Amino acid sequence: MRYTEKILEETSTIIEEIITEKNFSTKVDPFIVTIVSIIMAFLVAFTSNYIMILFSLPILITIFLLLSINKSYFVKILFILLLLGTIPGIPIIFTSTGYINDLNDLVLQPTSTGLENFVVFVSRVIISSLFFILPIIGLGWYGFLKSLSILKPLGVFLSILSLVIVILPRIIRNMLSIMFAREARIISKNYRVLWRTISSAIGDTIIVSHEYAGKLAKAIAARTITNTYFYETNMWKHKYNYIDLTLILVTITYITLYILVETSWLKLY
């Protein structure tokens, strides 16, 4: 239980850290790095080809170097992503096909096919998530949304996202308070009791969070004239340079290679 509470506490701290807008370096255009990261996150998330996952690593490392990433928060996020990818992926190791379509795919011992697909699954979860998270850490949540504010049709959608990140730390801390209160009243600490405690805490958290979100929405609606809640500021002044063009060119090259591989026009192995 204490490990769950520790992870939730660290997650809340990280979210509170990335809410504020960062002093972003002008080495690369924020809009370009954000769009490239989102595109790469979707492409890596939907591929099962380990070579395409490996080819995405240079782009990921480039984005990491271009952004001012807090190393300690990056390591914590990497550890959380490793847990989220490893725990649900463990059953894949014990499959004969590398997939779990039904119980007939499961075997009693690890297989080479299962182990290979497990590594691909975990790598896909970690790398695709990092592509999406890195610009948020580097720009700050509001900086991330501001870089997308060029796309005017997304105004209302960005407004909703700007509210979500404000609510999340409070939701997590409410859940921690409920879990602490429940744990203090547990005498028999076995896994079944702990599971029931966590499950009931989630239900109570949803109820409390729904009430808080409703009050927040009404407070914002009472103080705004339009339906756009996102606080817009002046965009970063940035002249496109060779770094921007190189990042765009490398991304286009990856997308082209991705399409050729996924449509079986090109065999890499």
What is the chain's pLDDT, residue by residue, as a tens digit (269 residues)?
555 666 666 666 666 666 665 555 557 888 888 999 999 999 999 888 888 999 999 999 999 988 877 787 788 888 888 988 898 888 888 887 767 766 667 777 888 888 888 898 999 999 999 999 888 888 877 778 777 877 777 777 777 777 777 777 777 777 777 777 766 666 666 667 667 766 777 777 777 777 777 777 777 777 666 555 554 445 555 566 788 888 999 999 999 999 988 887 777 65
Is this structure's pTM higher than 0.85?
no
Specify the residue for token string 């729904």. Answer: 210
Kindly tell me the burial class for residue 21, based on how many C-beta atoms sit within 10 Å of its own C-beta (0-12, 13-18, 19 or more).
middle
Task: State how far the alpha carbon of 152 is from the alpha carbons of 228, 240, 241, in Å.
Answer: 11, 21, 24
CA separation for the pair 126, 132 (Å, rounded): 10
Q: How many CB atoms lie within 10 A of CB 177?
A: 14
Beta-carbon-side half-sphere exposure of residue 116 (alpha carbons within 13 Å) = 10
The pLDDT, as a whole number, for residue 231 is: 46
User: For residues 67 and 89, what is the distance between their CA atoms, to the nearest angstrom?
Assistant: 30
Q: What is the DSSP letter of 235?
A: P
| Sign of the torsion formed by the C-alpha atoms of 186, 187, 191 and 196 | negative
pLDDT of residue 40: 94
Environment class of residue 164 by beta-carbon count within 10 Å: exposed (0-12), middle (13-18) or buried (19+)?
Answer: exposed
Task: Say what the pLDDT of residue 243 is.
Answer: 83
In degrees to the nearest 10, what's the CA dihedral of 102, 107, 113, 115?
110
Which pLDDT value is given to residue 25?
58
Q: Give the pLDDT confidence score for residue 233 in this predicted structure.
A: 47
Measured between alpha carbons, how far is residue 34 from residues 29, 67, 100, 150 in Å?
A: 9, 11, 34, 12
Residues near 226 by beta carbon (within 8 Å), at least 6 away in sequence: none
